[in-house]
Structure 1
Amino acid sequence: MWLVALGMGMFCQTARADEYADVTQLVRVGKLSAALVKADAFLATQPRDPQMRFIKGVIQRDSGDPQEAIATFAQLTQDYPELPEPYNNLAVLYAGQNQLDKARSALEMAIRINPGYATAHENLGDVYAKLASQSYSKAAELAPASQATLGPKLTLIRQLLKTPVNAPCKMSDSACPKAN
């Protein structure tokens, strides 16, 4: 009897892996509506599955629905606070809306959970650079005479910010790529 249960458990894991692969493949080829339908169908039977919920957040983001993606990733951080990737993706969405303090907080949490998470460190550096740019700009506005010292700093920060910001990483990646 336990062999049957073990076999069923292995079948379910394989079936789940296939579902993840199917949904991910639909996302890769740009069939976001179909991917969302398939993800929702999976989540109807397994609503707490963190990996499919994560994928759903990516689909929502890629579909141009950042508010829904934010809600999905925020709920993941509540339900699975030990996972750093939802915090990173949440931060990228916040940064895209210029909510830099929220982005910074989310990235700091991702790093607290996984100090070796290079993508989160780099994204935090990008957020700090944007915050620095805002502070330098405000200082220049308040004290125009300080242009001699602020001008070069603003130029340097603006050059740094021209480089593309990392895309969110996939939760299934053990070492997140810089962009995906």
Structure 2
Amino acid sequence: MHGASAQELSASKPDGGWQALADVLKKLEPSVDTSIPETPVQASIRINQLIASGKFQQALDEIEKKQPTVSYMEQPGTDVQLRFLRARALTGLGRTAEAIDVYQDMTGKYPELAEPWNNMATLQLKAGLLDQAYESLKMAIGINPKYGIAHRNLGLVQLIMANHSFDQAVQNGVASAAKQAAATKQIINGN
């Protein structure tokens, strides 16, 4: 006695089998893409998560795909968010000068925002550009006098500037400035 072939078995099945159900379901599939597009907020959250997890280049690639489709005049909120994320991704990649340029551009396009000035100042400070950081923070505070972080950052910049001045005084023969130099260093270092 020979076993039945696969063709004979499938031919003997009634039309109500699994394949018939799959065929019916296939016909019911929508013919257009019904997925919901990602909102700007969702995109920002996703890109922010990439940056937070250290995937700076991937975040930058995502931003560069989205940014050309966003107009700063028509979608200012989305544009601002993408620019901030771009600057953060560039900073994470060690491309500080480019990040500063992004913030500088933002200060021209969004003069009502204090945050680009503050963020630019932190990068300027890290790059050793004390005078520029000081001026950027003064702008941030001028825009938003209640911007506490900018006030704190301005205080740190002023302490660093004071410390440099005290160090210069010591080097130029004013021994009593050593105490002030040491005191400012302690404050700067958080001791």
TM range (shorter): 0.7 to 0.9
CA RMSD of aligned residues (A): 1.6
How many Å apart are 1:137 and its aligned residue? Answer: 1.2
1:44 to 61, 65, 68: 68
Give the distance between the partners of 1:163 and 1:74, measured in 2 at CA: 30
Distance 1:102 1:67 in 2: 13
More helix by share: 1
Larger RCO of the pair (alpha carbons < 8 Å, separation 6+) = 1
Indicate yes or no: 2:39 matched with 1:15: yes
* 1:5-50 deviations in Å (ceiling 9; x for gaps): xxxxxx88x7111111110011111111111111111102115311
State how far apart, in whole Å, the 1-side matches of 2:125 and 2:71 are. Answer: 28
Distance 1:85 1:163 in 2: 24
Please identify the structure whose Cα radius of gyration is greater.
2
1:74 paired residue number:
104
For structure 1, which runs of at least 5 residues remain unmatched after alignment? Answer: 1-10, 165-180
Give the 3 Å change call, closer, same or farther, for CA 64–23 of structure 1 in structure 2: same
Give unpaired runs (5+ residues) of structure 2. Answer: 1-35, 73-78
Pick from 81, 84, 88: which aligns with 1:54? 84
Q: What's the offset of the Cα at 1:112?
A: 0.8
- Quote the sequence identity (%): 31
1:25 equivalenced with 2:52 (yes/no): no
In the TM superposition, 1:54-133 aligns within 5 A as: 54-133=84-163
TM-score, normalized by length of structure 1? 0.79
Shift of 1:63: 1.2
Could you tell me the TM-score, scaled by structure 2's length?
0.75
Aligned residues between the structures:
150
